Structures are given as C-alpha cells and as structure tokens.
Amino acid sequence: MGRGSGEALGNTMTVTSIGLDIIEIERVRRALARQPRLAARLFTSDERAYCDGRADPASHYSARFAAKEAVAKAVGHHLRWQEVEIVSDRRGRPSVTFLGESAAWAGVTRGARCLLSLTHSRDYAAAVVVMLSPPPSLPEDEPTRSVLV
C-alpha cells in the first residue's frame, strides 16, 4: 500500500476533512510583480528561497498559495499565512508545517496529520489537503472499531 494508506497509518487515523484549491499562475505572477512585498507577507523566508531558486518562481509560489488555501479549507478556519509553511523533502514531496496558533487550529497538537499533494501545469496550480485525526478516546468498557483510511 502507498504512503497515506490505512496500512501505512496503522489503521488508527480517520479522514476528518479535505481541502482543494486551484489558482491561475498568471494571476499570481501579476500580483507579485505589482506588489513587491506580497511574497514576504504570504510566504516564509524558506518558501521564498525555494520558489525564487526555481526557473519559474510564479508557478511554485502559486502551488504554495493554493496549498495554504486548501489547508484553510480543510481546517475550516483562515490561518495566518506565515504560520502555514509548505516545505519539500529531498525527494520533492511536499508537506505542511504548522507554526504558532495554526498548529492548534489544525489539531496537530492533538495528533492530527495533514497530507498534501501539489500540482501545476502551464496555466494553473492546484493543491489537495487531507486532514487525518486519531480516533477519540473511548471509555475502557466500549469496544474499539478501526477505520481504514
């Protein structure tokens, strides 16, 4: 089974919400050109370094913007831009790091997890977020049921 499957999660996590966002890359490109401080307001220094180091920074900024919007939709609450950081591992797999109060809003302080997928084409960037939560604690006399993800 692949990463994020019920087997990989030990059958202990439940899908609690999903967020999806898509944005036109050209719209982000124009906004960044019109407002030079916009990138600093929306993205962390690490996100800016990553995007600015790419051949087409606007497509990478767009994907990260879509990811932050998808996270907010999945969490059900608008989060501070600088407190939701989209990072990539050595293989390029994206993930979300919650900082400050956003960690509590997202439930990560209670064991929730966030799965993220990013994509972009010539014209659009999109992101999908799946929020996973551990099952609630049950009293000792209640049977436990596993939920496969």
Q: How confident is the chain (149 residues) per 10-residue block, as mean pLDDT?
A: 41 87 98 96 96 96 97 89 92 91 77 90 97 72 47
Look at residue 73 in the predicted model and tell me its pLDDT: 94
Residue with tokens 């220094």: 45
CB burial of 77-112 (b: ≥16 within 10 Å; e: otherwise) equals eebebbbbbbeeeeeeebebebeeebbebbbbeeeb
Q: Is 68 a catalytic residue?
A: no
Look at residue 63 in the predicted model and tell me its pLDDT: 98
**Per residue, what are the HEC states of 117-146?**
EEEECCCEEEEEEEEEECCCCCCCCCCCCC
Sheet holding 113-120, edge to edge: 14-24, 124-133, 113-120
Q: For residue 64, which amino acid is it?
A: R
Look at residue 5 in the predicted model and tell me its pLDDT: 38
Provide the 8-state DSSP code for 5: S
User: For the CA atoms of the chain, what is the radius of gyration?
Assistant: 17
**Topology of domain 15-133, CATH:** Ribosomal Protein L22; Chain A (3.90.470)
**24, 36, 2, 118: which is closest to 71 by C-alpha?**
118
- What are the residues whose beta carbons fall under 8 Å from the beta carbon of 91, sequence distance 6 or more? none
Look at residue 113 in the predicted model and tell me its pLDDT: 85
Helix axes 57-75, 25-34, angle to 10 degrees: 100
Look at residue 148 in the predicted model and tell me its pLDDT: 45
Residue with tokens 């997928």: 117
Look at residue 3 in the predicted model and tell me its pLDDT: 40
pTM of the model: 0.81
Domain-by-domain residue ranges, the chain? 15-133
Look at residue 2 in the predicted model and tell me its pLDDT: 37
Choice among 60, 68, 73, 77 that is catalytic: 73
CA distances to 23, 90, 100, 122 from 97, in Å: 21, 16, 10, 27
Look at residue 135 in the predicted model and tell me its pLDDT: 75
